Amino acid sequence: MSYRAEHVGSLLRPPELLQARAAFAEGRLEEQALRAVEDAAIIEALAKQRDCGLDILTDGEMRRGSWLTDMADAVEGFVREKVMLDWKGPGGGAEASTADAVGSKLRKTRQLTAYELPLLTKSAGPFKITLPAPSNFLVASYKRGVTDRFYPSHSDLLRDLVAIIRDEVEWLIAEGVTYIQFDAPYYSHYLDAHQRERMRADGRDPDRELEMGIAGDNAAIEGVTRGGITLALHVCRGNSRSRWYTEGGYDAIAEKLFQTLNVDRFLLEYDSGRCGGFEPLRLVPRGKTVVLGLVTTKEPQMESREELSRRVDEAARYVPLENLAISPQCGFASVAAGNLLSIDEQWRKLALVAETARGIW
């Protein structure tokens, strides 16, 4: 399926949903009432996406606290320990990841997306489900002194993570889902020169870790039904309240990631000079699609349709135009509080994505 205009997944939560989630967390609202507020927000978001003209829809990740928290919600073994990240941008600095650390053996207690799928199946039309890639948790959830008591090495943890996500992928396909997207921001650690230096100083080999992450993500989809199924991967550079944590072009990871990760589509951030040029796209195998994340979700300023079209033309020097698509660079609310723009500005940006795609393809 040729999806030319899409978005990465998360959407800004309406104020009533944020209020309901806060009331639920404080014990002032029953779960059934929270689900009703979530349902209403999702149904409205689906209608707005259709109005914008997007080719594939999501539920906006409205039921999640952040893009990956459904992992800890559905899997025993995570504890309230955090890995610290160094954020850049508005209000940047050291802050804990939204992921919990692994503090005992992992055991899946329910499907991660069990609460998300029923309404999407009933209401959405063409939709995708986003999942955290297994590779994320090697960086976000492996904490020395906590995790290594149960998983002596990163590879030990990866085996259990792969089994959990593979089970989810197989279940989603069995339930009729035709587009599954892995979100994998931690691949960007391996392209950032500063992060690579820090890894080496810590006795870690960033290239070996990159290979391990790719092998794990491949194992989570190896042998699954592929006929009529779209498998995608989004490489993020951090997205929380309009901040980011990694910078640099794709050069350091392009050959291994593009040529060995067995997905159909790569959703890549290209909204600023922090992302480098399009030259590494020459390493994307023919037949795979690159979704150019040209529209920023980090600030309200609108891009121009002419500039977006020009950049697509530039990328087409390295990937055939028929294998390109466009999107915003990331979600609008990777954490529930959302990025620093309004809901109206969000919809205008998504309409611009769809309008530009229609003009090009």
- Residues 265-292, mean pLDDT to the nearest whole number: 95
Give the bridge partners for 324, in sequence order: 290
**Rounded Cα distance, 97 and 317, in Å:** 37
CA 234 to chain centre: 5
Q: Let me know: does 210 contact 190? Beta carbons within 8 Å.
A: yes
**Rounded Cα distance, 180 and 323, in Å:** 18
**Rounded Cα distance, 75 and 95, in Å:** 24
- Residues 177-194, mean pLDDT to the nearest whole number: 91
- Residues 112-119, mean pLDDT to the nearest whole number: 96
The predicted structure's pLDDT at residue 248: 87
pLDDT at residue 94 tops 80: no
| pLDDT interval class at 76 (50, 70, 90) | very high
Domain ranges of the chain: 15-360
Taking Cα atoms as reference points, which of 112, 86, 60 lies closest to residue 297? 60
DSSP string, 241-266: TTBB-----SHHHHHHHHHHS--SEE
Give the bridge partners for 101, in sequence order: 79
Span 14-65, pLDDT tens digits: 999 999 999 999 999 999 999 999 999 999 999 999 999 999 999 999 999 9
Tokens 């079209």 found at: 309
pLDDT at residue 124 tops 80: no
Number of neighbouring beta carbons within 10 Å of residue 83:
18
pLDDT at residue 220 tops 80: yes
Q: Let me know: does 331 contact 7? Beta carbons within 8 Å.
A: yes
The predicted structure's pLDDT at residue 55: 96
Q: Let me know: does 273 contact 248? Beta carbons within 8 Å.
A: no
Q: Let me know: does 145 contact 195? Beta carbons within 8 Å.
A: no
| pLDDT interval class at 245 (50, 70, 90) | confident
The predicted structure's pLDDT at residue 213: 94
Taking Cα atoms as reference points, which of 280, 208, 212, 222 lies closest to residue 248? 280
Percentage of residues in the chain having pLDDT higher than 70:
98
Where b means 16+ CB within 10 Å and e means fewer, 4-15 reads bbbbbbbbbbbe
Strand ranges (DSSP E) for the chain? Answer: 75-79, 84-87, 93-96, 101-108, 129-132, 179-183, 230-235, 265-269, 289-295, 324-328
Sheet holding 230-235, edge to edge: 129-132, 179-183, 230-235, 265-269, 289-295, 324-328
Q: Mean pLDDT in the chain?
A: 93
Q: Let me know: does 41 contact 13? Beta carbons within 8 Å.
A: yes
Q: Looking at this protein, which amino acid is placed at residue 35? A: R
pLDDT at residue 152 tops 90: yes
| pLDDT interval class at 199 (50, 70, 90) | confident
Among 61-75, 83-97, 225-239, 292-306, name the one with the lowest average pLDDT.
83-97
Contacts of 223 (CB under 8 A, 6+ apart): none
Q: Let me know: does 229 contact 173? Beta carbons within 8 Å.
A: yes
CATH of domain 15-360: 3.20.20.210
pLDDT at residue 240 tops 70: no
Tokens 């080999």 found at: 205
Percentage of residues in the chain having pLDDT higher than 90:
78
The predicted structure's pLDDT at residue 207: 94
The predicted structure's pLDDT at residue 242: 64
Q: Let me know: does 118 contact 136? Beta carbons within 8 Å.
A: no
| pLDDT interval class at 260 (50, 70, 90) | very high
Q: Let me know: does 258 contact 266? Beta carbons within 8 Å.
A: yes
Span 200-214, pLDDT tens digits: 998 889 999 999 999
Q: Looking at this protein, which amino acid is placed at residue 79? A: V
